[in-house]
Amino acid sequence: MEITTLKDIANELGISVATVSKALKDYPDVNKETKKKVLYMANKLNYTPNQLAVNLRTKQTKTIGVIIPTTVHHFFSNVIDGIIAEAEKKGYLVIILQSDEKLFLEKLHVNLLIDKRVDGILMSLSNKTNEFVHLKKIISRKIPLVLFDKVEPSIACSKVRIDDKKAAYQAVCHLIKKGYRRIAHFRGDLNPKISNDRFEGYKEALLDHDISYDPSLVYVCNNNKDFEDGYLNAQKLIKEHSNIDSIFAITDLVAVGIIKYFNEKGIKIPNDIAVVGFSNWFMSSVVTPTLTTIDQPAYEIGKTATEILLQEIELTHLEQPIKHKEIILPTHLILRESS
Amino acid sequence: MEITTLKDIANELGISVATVSKALKDYPDVNKETKKKVLYMANKLNYTPNQLAVNLRTKQTKTIGVIIPTTVHHFFSNVIDGIIAEAEKKGYLVIILQSDEKLFLEKLHVNLLIDKRVDGILMSLSNKTNEFVHLKKIISRKIPLVLFDKVEPSIACSKVRIDDKKAAYQAVCHLIKKGYRRIAHFRGDLNPKISNDRFEGYKEALLDHDISYDPSLVYVCNNNKDFEDGYLNAQKLIKEHSNIDSIFAITDLVAVGIIKYFNEKGIKIPNDIAVVGFSNWFMSSVVTPTLTTIDQPAYEIGKTATEILLQEIELTHLEQPIKHKEIILPTHLILRESS
DNA sequence: GAAAAAATCGAAAACGATTTCGAAACTTCT
DNA sequence: AGAAGTTTCGAAATCGTTTTCGATTTTTTC
């Protein structure tokens, strides 16, 4: 005997499949005695329901799909942790796909997940994503969608993110309060919202403290190799601007690249130049000097996004209307040696 | 109209569901004209097959399950990267579950994946796993299983791993060749094979160079907080043994903890004490001083394990016998400043 | 003891696809 | 024209479960 089915139990007991099914699901219209017998036999034959059949029948898969740019990333692996933890708690499985920052893969994966009939989808958009038909397709199929981290405002769905502009503002204000005035910014790629938001926060902080904004102090890191971007741009910065006293980097990894270069060149942090990062990667607490940075609640972002998604799945299933939420989780400035 | 099914196409064209199905799968016994019509209509109605129904019928889900201790880990996130990349290439989806180093969760997840009818399972065992009925259950269900990293020799399945003993041996030999003699070892928990293997490699290297093995130089790191373990044990070590000249740490994270403490106490690396890690986390290339370590091919481990698993899935499906493989991937000693 | 009510069961349809096998239609050949 | 062979199609079974609804049996009520 291979795998036990309802039919096997039914045959064994000389009753119908329907009754067996109902007995196992504790329907009221089945005799207590037969319930006992069914339970006993199910146990004896080691029965577990074939989820494929259940899924087909109930049109629910108890599975959610996740599309993120990459898993090899401190932030995303913590987000995944939060997602899986929350999903497991509610009995959902998690399928993870990587867009590798490519739009065509993102689209492909969306189709895959739709075909797979996942109950809901969680996405952080790739940096290259500048059109959104694939997201609209998800919504038109009535599949709950929650965007996190890299979100698109124009899409009607729930979103979980941080306030990048505010966090950047906070970081730069910190530098200003510490007395730094010539503040460079190593920004991210031009397209993504978070990159622009952080840039805006940087500018606004300068403005609010009557420091004139100098575009030549802004360096773009867009090679997808943050560490090297930081290292090389630090090199460039030192050549081009000798009078810099601090840098606000879009990412800890960029900041660590900067630190590496400065350490090699004997440039003292923070005495010669202060450095502030963004994300509070584990690494920032162990580099020398330790890095001042913005703590981004990655685990909570994953957990919260999943909570909302599962709620919306339940509501959809009950055919009730859903009100989309936009959650902004708080960030914290972590003060360390580098500033 | 909600979602298009074969029936919709059939009704629209006034033909049977069977013909539509066969037309879409390019069966030879359907007229070219009708094939064209079906294809056209399928396209027009935006048809995609309901995978749930396909799965139920074909008894294949094109999905593999992965159970690992944690995703928030440089090694594992790279393994996942390799797994997902390879699986995606072959049209398989990946469900990821975390055991959180707990045996009961590992068992639970195994059952979940079996019920979910995944086509195959990839596992790295938790540190606490000391019984294997759940693995045998997978095998008895004829579900291909591939163990990687933390494997169990007694289980009859394919395995992908590195030679931990040899790698550790290599690392310690390197220290000895550099002239270090009083070599401490910060080892991992007592149960896991990899922890013991590395320990054995350490001992053998000493033996082969006529250095007597001193058990008091071995410190156990088992708080699941490698960084702190390294930091605290470094503190302890300095108190207890003033004449140490080097440390071989089971993990880069432990090594970084050590480095942190030494940096704080002004102990010079490698002049006072040398440090060697294990894994070649990204971090090791950016800490000060940069860390000598063993490069562990995480991505390749994930990729290779998945390749083997998918092969075995194919063979199982063709009802052909499978020969289990044991692949040992090469490690490399990365020389850096800390030794 | 008959009628009404309650308890218990199972046949059958459904979910949406795949695949076998026989029937019908059409060609080809003598 | 009729036999034989080819194409082309579709009815029906199947995967394993869920759920409705009607049938049957048992219990209750007066």
User: Which tokens hold the place of B227?
Assistant: 């960084």
Smallest Cβ–Cβ distance between B98 and the set A55, A84, A283 belongs to: A84
What is the reported pLDDT for B1?
A: 54
Q: For residue A242, is pLDDT > 90?
A: no
pLDDT in tens, A51-84: 999 999 999 999 999 999 999 988 999 999 999 9
pLDDT band at B86 (very low <50, low <70, confident <90, very high): very high
Please give the Cα distance from A47 to A111 (Å, whole number). 34
User: Using the CB atom, is residue A239 less than 7 Å from strand C?
Assistant: no
What is the reported pLDDT for A1?
A: 54
Region A298-318 average pLDDT: 95
pLDDT in tens, B149-179: 999 999 999 999 999 999 999 999 999 999 9
Residue A140 backbone dihedrals phi, psi, to 5 degrees: -65, -25
Q: For residue A2, is pLDDT > 80?
A: no
User: Using the CB atom, is residue B15 less than 7 Å from strand C?
Assistant: no
pLDDT in tens, A211-231: 999 999 999 998 878 899 999
Note whether B56 contacts A61, CB cutoff 8 Å.
no
Distance from CA of B242 to the nearest CA of A (A): 25
Q: For residue A191, is pLDDT > 90?
A: no
User: Which tokens hold the place of A55?
Assistant: 């899924």
Which nucleotides of chain C are near protein (any atom < 7 Å from a CB)?
Answer: 7-12, 14-22
Please give the Cα distance from A221 to A227 (Å, whole number). 9
Using an 8 Å CB-CB cutoff, list chain A residues near B286: 227, 256-257, 259-260, 283, 287
Q: What predicted TM-score, i.e. pTM, was given to this entire model?
A: 0.91
* Chain B contact present for A47, CB below 8 A: no
CB B291 within 8 A of CB B256: yes
Q: For residue B224, is pLDDT > 80?
A: no
Top pLDDT among B263 and A175 is at A175
Question: Residue A336: CB partners within 8 Å, gap ≥ 6?
Answer: A284, A285, A289, A290, A291, A292, A293
DSSP H or E run through B162: strand B158-162
- pLDDT averaged over chain A? 94
Closest residue to D18 measured CA to C1′? A57
User: Using the CB atom, is residue B51 less than 7 Å from strand C?
Assistant: no
Q: For residue A31, is pLDDT > 60?
A: yes
Region B200-214 average pLDDT: 96
Bond before A289 cis per omega within 30 degrees: yes
Between residue 79 and residue 108 of chain B, the positions with Cβ below 7 Å from nucleic chain C are none
What is the reported pLDDT for B169?
A: 97
Residue B328 to residues A56, A103, B162, B165, B308: CA-CA distances in angstroms?
Answer: 41, 36, 5, 12, 13
Instruction: Provide, in whole angstroms, the distance separating residue A338's CA from nucleotide D14's C1'.
Output: 68
Distance from CA of B210 to the nearest CA of A (A): 36
What is the reported pLDDT for A320?
A: 86
pLDDT in tens, A106-159: 999 999 999 999 999 999 999 889 999 999 999 999 999 999 999 999 999 999
Instruction: Centre a 10 Å sphere on the Cβ of residue B211 and count the other Cβ atoms it contains.
Output: 16
